[in-house]
Amino acid sequence: MRKEGALWALGAMSGTSLDGVDGAMIKTDGHAIFAFGPSAYRPYTPEEQDRLRAALGQWPGDPDVAAAAEVVETAHAELLARFTGAELLGFHGQTLAHDPAGKGTHQCGNGAILAQVLGLPTVWDFRSSDVTIGGQGAPLAPFYHYALARHISATEPLAFLNLGGVGNLTWIDPTAPGPESPGALLAFDTGPANAPLNDLMLSRLGLSHDEGGALAAQGEADEDFVAMVLKDPWFDHPPPKSLDRNDFHGLIDRLEMLSDEDAAATLTAIAAASVAAAQIHFPAPVTRILVTGGGRNNPTLMAELRRRIPVRIDPVEDVGLDGDMLEAQAFAFLAVRVLRKMATSGPDTTGAPALVGGGQISRPDP
């Protein structure tokens, strides 16, 4: 493996929405992005999703973890075997539990197995070392967001907003010399995003998500309830900070008296309102928010964001990026940084007391 110059790296991501696995290649030296390569998606079957959901909240050795890990490893192997030309793999695994102030963080899936199956050096277990020294272990995409801001030639502060199961923001000063520089980044989770809404749709209607925000668009948000949720002390806590997918799962039970339409509208409004509330934490106002993750495909959610935040808000496609694959690309980028002993997180992104280069490296047998 070359110690200098750009590599073609393959990254994979299975997010908290539990919809499937994304795979994407980029050419990078761990600093700049030289090219974007092919990408692909492999959805989880309903049966696989059931096995993953059964393991949510569990830790290594708990009853359903082995079955979930088998799903994750099999799905990744099937997807990633389609790619050619990769020199390195970044494998995130599937987050089952995240408790940085307590038990730690748990992503199931063994990167050593994928290294053997795919014949690629594999970087995995990206979060544990950050949590071990006192960081939140999340979010981990901010160093890649900084590289993207430089790639699109941004010159003023901007933010990347990822709307997955949980929302997270990265504030970026693209004029800073690098992502490790003090003041270059501030990153944190904003609150619940798609996870409670997806869980509501599944429990009430047997659907995986609110397609196109259609159900929420028919309802009316309970703004008193939205305001009550935003009074939770977590929203005022200064960043960096992170959430587990299920930290706000109880919202669904508290909406049982609302119709399906109004409940969906209320959860959509909470996702947007939490992002709006997060602006107070920015070191300086941003000129633009670029949205990635599945939530950018929800017109009702995007409209709520624009109604509540007086800043230009666009999907990342407006600047030539792929919002479906950005997180998979991020773990390809981070894999190169781990390989070359570069930082992947730090005080302003995860709250770790020092810069951290997280991740294990597994190599295939000769």
The residue written with tokens 């997918």 in the block is 245
pLDDT at 124: 98
pLDDT tens digits, residue range 25-82? 999 999 999 999 999 999 999 999 999 999 999 999 999 999 999 999 999 999 999 9
Rounded CA-CA distance 261/112 in Å is 45
Residue 158 neighbours by CB under 8 Å, 6+ apart: 149, 172, 174, 286, 287, 288, 289, 290
> Per-residue pLDDT for 338 more than 80?
yes
Strand partners, 344: none
Q: Interhelix angle for 65-80 vs 111-118, to 10°?
A: 30
Q: Which two tokens stand for residue 125?
A: 């277990």
- Tell me which CATH homologous superfamily contains domain 7-139+325-362: ATPase, nucleotide binding domain (3.30.420.40)
Question: Coil, strand, or helix at residue 288?
Answer: strand
Mean of all residue pLDDT scores within the chain: 95
The residue extents of the domains of the chain are 7-139+325-362, 154-319
Q: Which two tokens stand for residue 44?
A: 């989880």
Which of 14-18, 76-80, 251-255, 356-360 has maximum average pLDDT? Answer: 76-80
Nearest alpha-carbon partner for 282 in 175, 208, 142, 171:
171
The residue written with tokens 């709006």 in the block is 276
pLDDT tens digits, residue range 93-151? 999 998 898 889 999 999 999 999 999 999 999 999 999 999 999 889 999 999 999 99
pLDDT at 303: 98
Question: Coil, strand, or helix at residue 217?
Answer: helix
Rounded CA-CA distance 130/357 in Å is 8
pLDDT at 249: 73
Strand partners, 33: 28
The residue written with tokens 């010159």 in the block is 155
Query: Tell me, what amino acid is at 145?
Result: H
DSSP string for 36-91: EEEEEEEEPPHHHHHHHHHHTT--TTSTTHHHHHHHHHHHHHHHHTT--S-SEEEE
pLDDT tens digits, residue range 236-290? 999 988 887 778 878 899 999 999 999 999 999 999 999 999 999 999 999 999 9
- Give the CA dihedral 299, 302, 303, 307, nearest 10 degrees: 180
Instruction: Give the rounded percent of residues in the chain with a pLDDT score beyond 90.
Output: 88
pLDDT at 1: 64
Distances (CA, A) of 117 to 31, 79, 152, 362: 29, 12, 36, 12
The residue written with tokens 């950018």 in the block is 296
**pTM for the full model?**
0.93
The Cα angle at residue 300 between residues 161 and 12, in degrees rounded to 5: 40
Residue 45 neighbours by CB under 8 Å, 6+ apart: none
Strand partners, 90: 11, 123
Give all strands (DSSP E) within the chain, no chain letters. Answer: 7-14, 20-28, 33-43, 88-99, 104-108, 122-124, 158-163, 166-172, 185-192, 288-292, 312-315, 360-362
Give all strands (DSSP E) within 209-330, no chain letters. Answer: 288-292, 312-315
Taking domain 154-319, whether its CATH number is 3.30.420.40 is answered by yes
pLDDT at 2: 67
Rounded CA-CA distance 129/137 in Å is 8
Topology alike, domains 7-139+325-362 and 154-319: yes
Kind and range of the H or E element at 158? strand 158-163
Rg (the chain; Cα; Å):
19
